[in-house]
Structure 1
Amino acid sequence: MVELTDPSLQSVSFPCVVFETQKKMEDYVAEDMRYGDLSESLLKSYFHLNDVSTRVDPWTLTRVSPFNQPHSRFHGSRQQGASVSREACIAILFDEFRALSSFPFAVYSPYKMLIKQMITHMQHGGGAPFENILLDAALKERIVEDKKESNSLEMLRQSILANILWDKGILPEGKRRSIYTDMKECRLPKFNRIKDSFNGMAITVHDIFAAQIIIEDLVIKEGKFTAVIRYNIQDHFGLDKDDILKPHFHQFRFFRIWFVLQRYERFGYKPFMINMCARVEISGYEHEKQQTL
């Protein structure tokens, strides 16, 4: 057995973080995590949120009929709709929010029900983090299926290959910084494909806010390595001001209701962290490194 006295030849201890985004996990001060911070006048004048719901008017707490919808040609010709309590108004808005989530955002796939579950979690969860095995499965599927250049899993595999000391059968601690540097240019898994716009993943996650990639375990034996890689991914179920000002979002009543429920000072429903985790096994052979030299 070789005695390793040089610190640069000491094996990395696992689990070992080899990538982190600049944005950190658990960022509750991000702009899209704010809630209950905007007045009615600002929501109407700056964000143009006069027409929010087809069922209830959040500003007057009255039911909406075809005659008092803002875009109706009969608007103003009939008396105001029946009054509702603040709690009833909120319940009506959440029901409409859920009803609008299916088409066109979540038409098919096993993940299509996630958005409804997240909306209900916003309504009753009090800002607690959200986790679901379907999210983890979707993340793992996205990681494994990503074959484009600079995808994170293949870049990590190549970096491990290049930094192993094969004659000693270790990944030295001194090479951890090299792997971290290599991973700076990697492409993280995102749900921004065309099919994600219809399978429910773009509306639930789409982009990601923060990520960690961790080598949980590494075995090097007889010219082969096998590693277990864990992805910790976090996104926010919340809207910031820029989101709702974009025409692509503002045109959909779905997002207008979401923004009012979250940001209106009389409602202030808390956004929350979406936590995802996936474990993937990778392997490589010493001769692969030699072929690239």
Structure 2
Amino acid sequence: MTALQFPCTIFKTQNRMDDYDASDMRCGDLTEAQLKSYYRLNYISDRVDPYTLTRRSSMDRPQSMFCCNLRSHSEKITRQQCAAMLFDEFRSLSRKFSLYGPYSHLIEKMITHMQKGNGTPFRDVSLDRALKDHIIRDNSPDNSTRLLLKEALSSYIDWANKYFPAGEKDRLRKVILGGKLPKFDRLQDNYNGMGITVHDTWVTHITIRSLQIEKDEYRAVVHYKVQDHFGLDSDDMLKTKFSQFHFFRIWFVLQRYNQFGFKPFMTNMEATIDISGSRDESKK
């Protein structure tokens, strides 16, 4: 049997990288009538009305008994001014989803990237750090892809000949399928900023860059490449858990309304970790 050659990509999710045809990557494709009738997005913001391009006052809000009488006196603004005000409100509302921690600044940074980045991919060292921290701190023997790979390497290395057999490559893919890929859907992610910036992920590639075997021990360098989409699709907006918040209503209108059409973007994360083990572990 021949030795597996490195670097070697051992796992890819079914979704493809850089999928700009995904439903949550659409922008500027909905009319005012569609937003109001199908998505029930009549009232979007406490600050502006994006349909009439008017600035709101406190009496314009739905709960105000005077709103219908005073709306006609609202101040007119340009489309550019309206978009800028919506983005300011978008950033302000994001703070309730990112209360603390080293990643709490990311959501505002990503909103600004949506406003000014014209759909270009987004990278940040904090995202890479969050991914690596997640992988390393996941100590669940049933879910952690790191621990599952560690066990599989110990079990299937040809210790007599000091290599990993190419014929056993698919076992590595299968153990990853049996675990849980790193996603930011834990309880703490609801408050530390990662749940609102990434939450689920679109695609994951895992590559073993190198494998060194000496005596009865090994050391593998493993690279995770993860991509998510900073965008909303129709299914998102039809869910009450999203549509009830002005935060998501503003996001959807800025992205999908044909008078704005701000582009969603790819969020890219990478992490490289070391996995080491021994021949003895395969006997446990």
Task: Please say whether Structure 1 and Structure 2 have the same fold, judged by a TM-score greater than 0.5.
Answer: yes
Task: Give the C-alpha shift of residue 173 in structure 1.
Answer: 1.5
Alignment-mate amino acid for residue 34 of structure 1:
R
| Other-structure match for 2:250 | 257
Alpha-carbon separation, structure 2, partners of 1:227 and 1:156: 10
2:19 to 4, 24, 27: 27
The residue that corresponds to 1:243 in the other structure is: 236
Paired residue for 1:6?
Answer: none
Deviates more, 1:177-186 or 1:93-102: 177-186
2:22 is the counterpart of 1:48: no
Runs in 1 of length 4+ with deviation above 6 angstroms?
A: none
User: Following TM superposition, by how much is the alpha carbon of 1:182 offset from its aligned partner in structure 2, in angstroms?
Assistant: 2.7
Alignment-derived partner of residue 262 in structure 2: 269
Counterpart Cα distance in 2 of 1:283 and 1:256:
47
Task: Name the counterpart of 1:18.
Answer: 10
How far did residue 127 of structure 1 move?
Answer: 0.4
Is the Cα–Cα contact under 8 Å of residues 18 and 183 in structure 1 kept in the other structure? no
Residue 136 of structure 1 pairs with residue 128 of structure 2: yes
- Alignment correspondent of 2:113: 121
**Matches of 1:289 and 1:155 in 2, distance apart?**
12
Separation in 1 of the partners of 2:100 and 2:174?
39
| Distance across 1 between alignment mates of 2:215 and 2:143 | 28
| 1:40-93 Cα deviation digits (max 9, x unpaired) | 011011111111011110000000112222332211112331110111110110
Percent of paired sites with the same residue: 48
- The number of residue pairs the alignment matches comes to 282
Higher helix share: 2
- Alpha-carbon distance in structure 2 between the residues aligned to 1:80 and 1:36: 29
Deviation at 1:10, TM superposition (A): 2.2
For structure 2, which runs of at least 5 residues remain unmatched after alignment? Answer: none
Q: Measure the CA separation in 1 of the matches of 2:54 and 2:29.
A: 23
Q: 2-side partners of 1:210 and 1:194: how far apart?
A: 22
Aligned position for 1:290: 283
- C-alpha deviation, 1:106, in angstroms: 0.4
Matched with 1:217 is 210
What is aligned with 2:137? Answer: 145
Deviates more, 1:254-263 or 1:79-88: 79-88
Structure 1: segments with no counterpart, 5+ residues: 1-8
Q: 44, 52, 59: which is aligned to 2:51?
A: 59
**Range moving further from structure 2, 73-82 or 249-258:** 73-82
Q: 2:148 aligns with which of 148, 155, 170?
A: 155
Question: Is this contact kept in 2: 1:236–1:272, CA < 8 A?
Answer: yes
Larger displacement relative to structure 2 (269-278 or 167-176): 167-176
Structure 1 length as normaliser, TM-score? 0.94
User: SS state of the match for residue 130, structure 1?
Assistant: coil
**Partner of 1:100: helix, strand, or coil?**
helix
Residue 92 of structure 2 is matched in structure 1 by 99
Partner residue, 1:111: 103
What SS does the aligned partner of 2:227 have?
strand
1:181 maps to 174
TM-score w.r.t. the length of structure 2 is 0.97
RMSD of Structure 2 on Structure 1 (CA): 1.0
Following TM superposition, by how much is the alpha carbon of 1:158 offset from its aligned partner in structure 2, in angstroms?
1.2
Q: Secondary structure at the match of 2:282?
A: helix
